């Protein structure tokens, strides 16, 4: 029986309608009976012992109006003058706010730990929403919306207790004045409170939706980044109209700031991942282009270069690829690539039409601009059979003009994005450069070969009683005309003139000097009987040449050869600064033939002296340029004259002129190994025929 109570007690159990004494406590607050409150009173009454009960949880009220409360209770027995227990005094201190604050703090700490551990954003936001729904005494429903990339729309973030149809309906709503509570809060960048959705104008467009979801009030707080930009909204819904208290707004503000921390952390992590992915993609693209450049420049055949281009593109950029080139005014499909042989054959069989506007290849060749479409190319072609769904046609340019095209074809849902287009254009640019370089290289090699052929004997003439053999190998890759030369031509009375020399330098200037020496010798030799006079005429021609035709010196061996009655040959020669000729006798012993003579074309009149040599049958005279003796191995050592003499001495029995050249060049190649030839190499061998050949 309640004997006395303060106003706070009656407020807790239901307010003024319960404010009376002289009634059993079980009648005033029947919900207390089922929660053990009355049993504890009885125990204190029976035992007379004082008891305390901290943080006791009570549900006050019935049904939907029931609310949770926490109290620290003290139960003290009331004694009469005889010490008998006549009642119980109960003192309860309301600790509901304290307990809720502690629980909120614990939940907040757990959320911060999740954020620190980089838990998924969806998990953090949903956990936060459920925590608030569990902590708040009355029924609330929490929603978090996230700002879209444009900052003008809100996307679904977390709302575990709202109906799915409601979440789907508001997913993507625009921010703006009067667009519900959340859209307005996002627009204003400040909290918006709608205590009664049924009457508030902000909800005119959403009132029916809210009514279906049984929502009566909505308080929305914007979630803002540290720089003030919008991250989303934090909303609390109620089933009944209700205005917030200061504590409610403070709670919303705390959790909105927590959500901001989680969203910013998530965006930072996503930006980091995106940057890393972009960096990986950039590194992959660079590696692809570097590998492609290596492959495209690995062959000096422009046709092979363009075939490698097609192979590089499929399947890296597209499943189907074709390369077309303009040749002699017509388009020729030079390369294709496809997943299967049948598809490649079908693609290779299609030839674009050069002069029609209804063909992508023709249009790109004409405009020099890339063309891309999300459909099959127009005009005839095996597009249906290949299931083509899109194409990308890129020009290969030579000084701004297209000379070929790279066509990529898709066969599925994938389309050509800007990244693929840029990668294909860069690859086409590199392929065009490689193909043009290969074509120019081949043209230069052909030109150099043709010019060099014009400066050398087309074939060695047949000499009576004497075998003649020649060898020539240019240095490098054959792009420049060499400075080494030789010649053999007839004179009167069965005599033959021969010469072998070396012009200082390479290229066009060396070719001019080579031609001057050969043609001067051929012109004056029939008129001047002595080799010295011929060489002096050559020297004068060199000294009289214009500076634009070169100023380099020349080394030369020039001589006359006359078959002898004994089957051998008489030789008279002049050595002008050149390497020493080598005489190989019938016993295969090789020795240099000494002879004086200075360089030609240096200004001073050269000192020249004729030398005579008789070649017996089976004996040879070898003339060579310094590219032979100065050939180097990988250690930088030169082949040298001594090694040359040893090589010639070691030749087999009765070597022919061709055998002498073959043995010597083989020895030089074996000595040089992988070391490139630094200088041109030329050899002329004159061999008196053995008696059996006469």
SS3 72: strand
- Section 639-662 average pLDDT: 87
pLDDT for res 476: 58
Residue 11 parent element (H or E):
helix 7-13
Contacts for 75 with CB less than 8 Å, ≥ 6 apart: 40, 41, 44, 50, 51, 52, 53, 88, 89, 90
Residue 452 confidence class, pLDDT cut points 50, 70, 90? low
Contact criterion met (CB below 8 Å) for 405 and 395: yes
Half-sphere exposure of 536 (CA within 13 A, CB side): 12
DSSP result, 154-212: EEEEE-TTS-HHHHHHHTTEEP-TTSHHHHHHHHHTS-EEES-TTT-GGGTTTHHHHHH
Residue 605 confidence class, pLDDT cut points 50, 70, 90? confident
Beta carbons within 10 angstroms of residue 380's beta carbon: 12
Q: For 463, which DSSP code?
A: B
Mean of all residue pLDDT scores within the chain:
86
- Section 544-559 average pLDDT: 82
pLDDT in tens, 46-79: 998 999 888 888 877 776 566 778 888 899 999 9
For residue 552, give both structure tokens: 């380099």
- Section 547-572 average pLDDT: 86
Q: How far is CA 451 from CA 210, 441, 444, 510, 522, in A?
A: 92, 15, 10, 11, 19
Beta carbons within 10 angstroms of residue 351's beta carbon: 13
Residue 47 parent element (H or E):
helix 37-47
pLDDT in tens, 360-394: 888 899 899 999 999 988 878 888 889 899 999 99
| 553 vs 118, higher pLDDT | 553
Which range, of 132-136, 374-378, 531-535, 657-661, averages the lowest pLDDT? 132-136
DSSP result, 569-602: EEEEEEEEBPPPPEEE-TT--EEE----B--BSS
pLDDT for res 166: 96
Q: CA gyration radius for the chain? A: 52
Contact criterion met (CB below 8 Å) for 403 and 265: no
Question: What letters, b where the CB count within 10 A reaches 16 and e where it falls short, cover 81-103?
Answer: eeeeeebbebebeebbeebbeee
Contact criterion met (CB below 8 Å) for 434 and 297: yes
Q: Is the backbone peptide bond immediately before 315 cis, with ω within 30 degrees of 0?
A: yes
Residue 545 confidence class, pLDDT cut points 50, 70, 90? confident
| 673 vs 354, higher pLDDT | 673
**Could you give the strand order of the β-sheet that contains 140-147, starting from the edge strand earlier in sequence?**
173-174, 153-158, 140-147, 230-238, 217-224, 192-194
- Section 145-157 average pLDDT: 92
Q: Domain ranges in the chain? A: 7-99, 118-269, 298-448, 457-688
For residue 425, give both structure tokens: 């254009």
Residue 694 confidence class, pLDDT cut points 50, 70, 90? very low
DSSP result, 374-411: SSPPSSSSSHHHHT--EEEEEEEEETTEEEEEEEEEE-
* Partner residues linked to 685 by β-bridges: 469, 622
For residue 237, give both structure tokens: 């819904």
Identify the residue whose tokens are 């954020």.
Answer: 115
**Domain spanning 298-448, CATH architecture:** 2-Layer Sandwich (3.30)
Beta carbons within 10 angstroms of residue 13's beta carbon: 20
Q: How far is CA 515 from CA 60, 541, 574, 648, in A?
A: 120, 11, 20, 31
Beta carbons within 10 angstroms of residue 603's beta carbon: 11
| 219 vs 55, higher pLDDT | 219
Contact criterion met (CB below 8 Å) for 575 and 605: no
Same fold, 298-448 and 457-688: no
For residue 190, give both structure tokens: 């400040």
For residue 609, give both structure tokens: 């002296």
CA 196 distance to own-chain centroid:
58
For residue 502, give both structure tokens: 């070396």
Return the CATH superfamily for domain 7-99. PAS domain (3.30.450.20)
* Partner residues linked to 623 by β-bridges: 684
Q: Which residue, among 489, 549, 543, has the nearest Cα to 519 in the 3D structure?
A: 489
Q: Which residue, among 350, 319, 318, 317, has the nearest Cα to 334 in the 3D structure?
A: 350
Instruction: Read off the pTM.
Output: 0.53
Beta carbons within 10 angstroms of residue 636's beta carbon: 7
Please give the CATH number for the structural domain made up of 457-688.
3.60.40.10
- Section 447-453 average pLDDT: 56
Question: Rounded to 5 degrees, what angle do the CA atoms 56, 57, 63 make?
Answer: 150
CA dist., res. 616 & res. 518, Å (int):
28
Contact criterion met (CB below 8 Å) for 481 and 506: yes
Residue 55 parent element (H or E):
strand 51-60
HEC per residue, 609-661 = CEEEEEECCCCEEEEECHHHHCCECCCCCECHHHHHHHHHHCCCCCCCHHHHH
pLDDT in tens, 77-130: 999 888 899 999 999 998 887 877 777 777 677 777 777 777 888 888 888 888
User: What is the sign, positive or negative, of the torsion defined by CA atoms of 600, 606, 607, 608?
Assistant: positive
Multiple choice CATH, 118-269, 1.10.1660.10, 3.30.450.40, 3.40.1500.10, 3.40.109.10: 3.30.450.40
pLDDT in tens, 400-432: 899 999 999 999 888 888 889 999 999 999 988
């Amino acid at each position: 029986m309640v004997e006395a109570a303060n106003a706070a007690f009656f407020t807790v159990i239901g307010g003024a309608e319960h404010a009376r004494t002289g009634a059993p406590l079980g009648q005033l607050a029947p919900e207390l009976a089922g929660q053990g409150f009355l049993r504890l009173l009885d125990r204190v009454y029976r035992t007379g012992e004082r008891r305390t009960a901290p943080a006791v949880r009570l549900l006050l009220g019935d049904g939907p109006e029931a609310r949770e409360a926490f109290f620290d209770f003290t139960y003290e027995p009331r004694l009469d003058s005889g010490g008998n227990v006549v009642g119980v005094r109960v003192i309860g201190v309301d600790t509901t706010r304290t307990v809720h604050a502690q629980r909120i703090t614990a939940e907040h700490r757990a959320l911060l730990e999740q954020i620190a551990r980089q838990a998924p954003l969806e998990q953090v936001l949903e956990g936060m929403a459920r925590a608030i729904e569990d902590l708040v005494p009355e029924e609330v429903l929490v929603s978090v919306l996230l700002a879209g990339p444009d900052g003008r729309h809100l996307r679904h973030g977390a709302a575990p207790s709202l109906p799915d149809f409601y979440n789907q309906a508001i997913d993507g709503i625009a921010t703006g004045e009067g667009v519900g509570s959340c859209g307005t809060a996002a627009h204003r960048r400040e909290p918006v409170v709608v205590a009664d959705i049924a009457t508030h104008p902000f909800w005119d467009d959403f009132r029916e939706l809210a009514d279906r979801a049984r929502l009566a009030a909505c308080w929305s707080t914007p979630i803002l980044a540290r720089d003030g930009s919008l991250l989303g909204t934090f909303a609390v819904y109620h089933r009944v109209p209700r205005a917030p208290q200061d504590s409610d707004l403070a709670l919303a503000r705390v959790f909105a700031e927590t959500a901001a921390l989680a969203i910013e952390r998530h965006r930072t992590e996503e930006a980091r991942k995106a940057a890393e992915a972009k960096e990986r993609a950039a590194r992959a693209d660079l590696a692809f282009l570097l590998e492609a450049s290596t492959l495209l420049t690995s062959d000096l055949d422009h046709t092979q270069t363009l075939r490698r281009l097609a192979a590089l593109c499929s399947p890296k950029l597209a499943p189907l690829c074709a390369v077309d080139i303009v040749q002699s005014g017509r388009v020729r499909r030079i390369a294709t690539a496809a997943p299967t042989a049948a598809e490649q054959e079908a693609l290779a069989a299609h030839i674009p039409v050069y002069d029609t506007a209804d063909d992508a290849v023709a249009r790109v060749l004409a405009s020099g601009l890339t063309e891309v479409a999300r459909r099959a190319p127009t005009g005839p072609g095996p597009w249906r059979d290949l299931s083509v769904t899109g194409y990308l046609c890129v020009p290969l340019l030579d000084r701004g003009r297209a000379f070929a095209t790279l066509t990529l074809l898709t066969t599925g849902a994938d389309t050509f994005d800007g990244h693929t287009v840029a990668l294909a254009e860069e690859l086409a640019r590199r392929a065009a450069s490689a193909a043009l370089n290969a074509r120019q290289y081949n043209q230069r090699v052909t030109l150099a070969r043709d010019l060099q052929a014009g400066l050398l004997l087309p074939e060695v003439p047949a000499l009576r009683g004497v075998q003649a053999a020649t060898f020539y190998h240019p240095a490098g890759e054959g792009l420049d005309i060499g400075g080494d030369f030789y010649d053999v031509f007839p004179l009167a009375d069965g005599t033959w003139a021969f010469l072998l020399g070396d012009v200082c330098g390479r290229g066009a200037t060396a070719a001019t000097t080579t031609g001057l020496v050969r043609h001067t010798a051929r012109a004056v030799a029939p008129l001047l009987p002595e080799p010295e006079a011929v060489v002096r005429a050559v020297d004068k021609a060199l000294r009289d040449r214009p500076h634009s035709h070169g100023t380099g010196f020349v080394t030369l061996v020039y001589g006359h050869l006359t078959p002898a009655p004994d089957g051998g040959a008489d030789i008279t020669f002049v050595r002008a600064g050149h390497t020493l000729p080598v005489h190989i006798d019938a016993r295969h012993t090789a020795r240099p033939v000494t002879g004086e003579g200075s360089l030609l074309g240096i200004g001073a009149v050269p000192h020249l002296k004729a030398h005579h040599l008789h070649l017996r049958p089976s004996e040879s005279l070898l003339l060579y340029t310094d590219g032979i003796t100065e050939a180097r191995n990988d250690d930088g050592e030169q082949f040298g004259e001594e090694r040359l003499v040893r090589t010639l001495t070691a030749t087999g029995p009765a070597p022919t002129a061709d055998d002498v050249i073959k043995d010597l060049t083989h020895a030089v190649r074996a000595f040089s190994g992988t070391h490139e030839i630094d200088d041109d190499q030329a050899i002329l061998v004159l061999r008196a025929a053995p008696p059996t050949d006469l």
